[in-house]
C-alpha cells in the first residue's frame, strides 16, 4: 500500500537557493520617483505593472523633496506626500518607500540620489520608472549621460507619446488610465468626487488635513 508523504520543509532551502543563484545574486529593485502631489491610482497601476512584468523584488516609491523639472508652487510639504504614499501602498508587499531625497533636502537630482543608493546597496540593480511623457525630458536631466550608467530606465507607454528616446529605455505596456495629480487637485478645490481615482485612505487624509483647498 502506497503512503502519502507530507512535506514539512521547503523543497529548496535558503542555503540551496543561495548555492543555485550564487552568493553574488543581485537584487532587482524598481524606483518610481516623483512629487506624488498627490499619489493616485494611475501611479499604483503603473508601478504594479512594471514590477510584475519585469519580475522585480520590490518597487519603491521615491518622493522628491523639491523637483528640478516641474513647477513647485503647488507641491505641498513632503510630510503630507509621504503620509499619503504610505497609506496608498499599505497591504501590497511589492511596494515600499525610498526616502533618500526627502531626507537629503534641497533640490532632488536623480543622479545624486543614485550615486548614494548604489554606494549603500552595491548588490542591487535599479530600474527607474518614468512615464512616456517624462521620457521626452530626459535630455534635460542633470548628468543624464552619467545617470544611464547607474540605472535602467523603464518607460511606461502612454497614448500620444512615441516610445522612442536617444537613451536606452526598457518599454513596458500598462493599462491607459488618464489620471493626473493636477486633475486630482482641481477636483478637490472644486468639491468633486475622488472615488476610484485615489485610494480611500488618501482621500480620507486629504479631507482630514484640508489639503489642496486653495
Task: Please tell us whether the domain made up of 25-176 is placed in CATH 3.40.50.300.
Answer: no
pLDDT at 71: 56
Q: Cell match 517624462: residue? A: 134
Q: Show me where the domains of the chain are located.
A: 25-176
pLDDT band at 68 (very low <50, low <70, confident <90, very high): confident
Of 30, 50, 26, nearest to 152 by C-alpha is 30
pLDDT in tens, 155-195: 999 888 999 999 999 999 999 888 999 999 999 999 999 99
pTM of this prediction? 0.86
| Low-confidence winner among 14-28, 44-58, 134-148, 161-175 (lowest mean pLDDT) | 14-28
Average pLDDT, integer, range 185-213: 97
Amino acid at each position: 500500500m502506497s503512503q502519502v508523504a507530507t512535506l514539512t520543509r521547503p523543497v529548496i532551502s535558503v542555503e540551496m537557493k543561495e548555492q543555485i543563484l550564487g552568493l553574488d545574486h543581485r537584487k532587482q529593485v524598481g524606483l518610481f520617483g516623483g512629487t506624488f502631489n498627490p499619489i493616485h491610482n494611475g501611479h499604483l497601476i503603473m508601478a504594479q505593472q512594471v514590477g510584475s512584468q519585469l519580475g522585480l523584488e520590490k518597487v519603491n516609491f521615491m518622493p522628491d523633496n523639491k523637483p528640478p523639472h516641474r513647477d513647485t508652487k503647488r507641491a505641498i510639504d513632503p510630510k503630507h506626500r509621504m503620509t499619503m504614499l504610505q497609506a496608498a501602498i499599505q497591504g501590497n508587499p511589492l511596494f515600499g518607500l525610498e526616502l533618500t531625497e526627502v531626507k537629503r533636502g534641497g533640490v532632488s537630482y536623480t543622479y545624486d540620489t543614485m550615486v548614494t543608493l548604489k554606494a549603500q546597496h552595491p548588490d542591487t540593480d535599479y530600474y527607474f520608472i518614468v512615464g512616456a511623457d517624462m521620457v521626452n525630458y530626459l535630455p534635460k536631466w542633470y548628468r543624464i549621460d552619467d545617470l544611464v550608467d547607474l540605472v535602467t530606465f523603464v518607460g511606461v507607454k502612454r497614448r500620444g507619446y512615441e516610445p522612442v528616446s536617444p537613451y536606452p529605455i526598457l518599454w513596458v505596456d500598462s493599462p491607459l488610465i488618464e489620471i493626473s495629480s493636477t486633475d486630482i487637485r482641481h477636483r478637490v478645490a472644486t468639491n468633486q468626487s475622488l472615488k476610484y481615482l485615489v485610494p480611500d485612505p488618501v482621500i480620507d487624509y486629504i479631507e482630514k488635513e484640508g489639503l489642496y483647498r486653495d
